Amino acid sequence: MKDFPHLTGPEVPPAAGGRAESLIVLLHGVGADGRDLIDLAGPWGAMLPNAAFIAPDAPFPCDMAPYGRQWFSLQDWTMTSLLAGVQAAAPILTGFLDRELKKRGLPWSRLALVGFSQGTMTALHAALRLPQAPAAVLGYSGALVGAELLAGDVRCRPPVMLIHGDADEVVPWQATSMAAQALSAAGLTVASHIRSRLGHGLDEEGIRLGGMFLRDSLRSNSTASR
C-alpha cells in the first residue's frame, strides 16, 4: 500500500464541550495553510456547537512561493494537469478523513467538507469518490475538475453548496456555474450563490450561508447516522 503523507493542522473542539457529534474539515487554498480557515470554527461553532473543526495543512510545499502549502501544483493550469493534481491529492485526503473519523468514532455521514479555491477543487473531487457519502460539501471560489469523468466515477452524492464572488480575479465565477451544472447533471443536489462585488475570498454573508447549509445538512441526516 502506498505510503501517503500524514496530514496535520490546527483543530478546534466542539464549542459545547464533550465528544464531537460531527466533524467539519476545512481545506485551504494554494499558498496558505490550515490557519487560513480554522477561524471559521468561531461563527460556525456557534451554529454547530457539537461539531469539531480541523484544517489540515496541504501535503506539499507551495512551488510558487517560499511559504505556504499546496494540494497540488498550479504552475500548469491545463485541464490535464489539474486533473492529475486532484487525482493525486484525493487519496491523501481520503486517508486523512478516514483516520480523523475513526479517532472520533464518527461515521462518514457526520463529516462535512469545506474548501476554498484549490481546496474546493480537492474537496469536490474526493467527496464524490468516498466509500460513503459525507453530510455536505461546501466550496468557496473554486471549480470542478474532470467533470467529464463524473458519470463513471461518482460513488456517492452528498448535497453541495458553491459560493463565489463575481469579481474574483483568480478563479472566474463562471467556474461555479459550470460546476453546479455538471454536478446537477450527475444527480447531485446543488445550491450556488454568486456574491456581488466580491473578489477571491469570503464575505460575511457567504460565511452565514455556508454555516446554515452545514447546520441543516448535518441535522437532516443525524437520525439516520445513529
pLDDT attached to residue 222: 66
Q: Residue 225 pLDDT more than 90?
A: no
Query: Taking Cα atoms as reference points, which of 178, 132, 182 lies closest to residue 158?
Result: 132
Residue 4, domain member (yes or no):
no
CATH of the domain at 110: 3.40.50.1820
Residue 101, domain member (yes or no):
yes
* Phi-psi sector, 76: left (phi>0), alpha (psi -120 to 50), beta: beta
User: Structural domain of residue 130, as residue ranges?
Assistant: 11-220
How far apart CA 46 and CA 218 sit, in angstroms, is 14
Residue 6, domain member (yes or no):
no
Residue 189, domain member (yes or no):
yes
Residue 164, domain member (yes or no):
yes
Q: List, for residues 20-50, the tens digit of each pLDDT value.
A: 999 999 999 999 999 999 999 999 999 999 9
Q: Give the number of other Cβ atoms within 10 Å of residue 114's Cβ.
A: 27
pLDDT attached to residue 3: 67
Q: List, for residues 155-188, the tens digit of each pLDDT value.
A: 999 999 999 999 999 999 999 999 999 999 999 9
pLDDT band at 200 (very low <50, low <70, confident <90, very high): very high
Q: What is the 3-state secondary structure (H, E, C) of 106-167?
A: CCHHHEEEEEECHHHHHHHHHHCCCCCCCCEEEEECCCCCCHHHHHHHCCCCCCEEEEEECC
Length of the chain: 226
Residue 138, domain member (yes or no):
yes
pTM: 0.95
Residue 225, domain member (yes or no):
no
Q: Residue 223 pLDDT more than 70?
A: no
Q: Residue 226 pLDDT more than 70?
A: no
Number of domains into which the chain is organized: 1
Place of cell 503523507: 5
3-state secondary structure of 45: helix
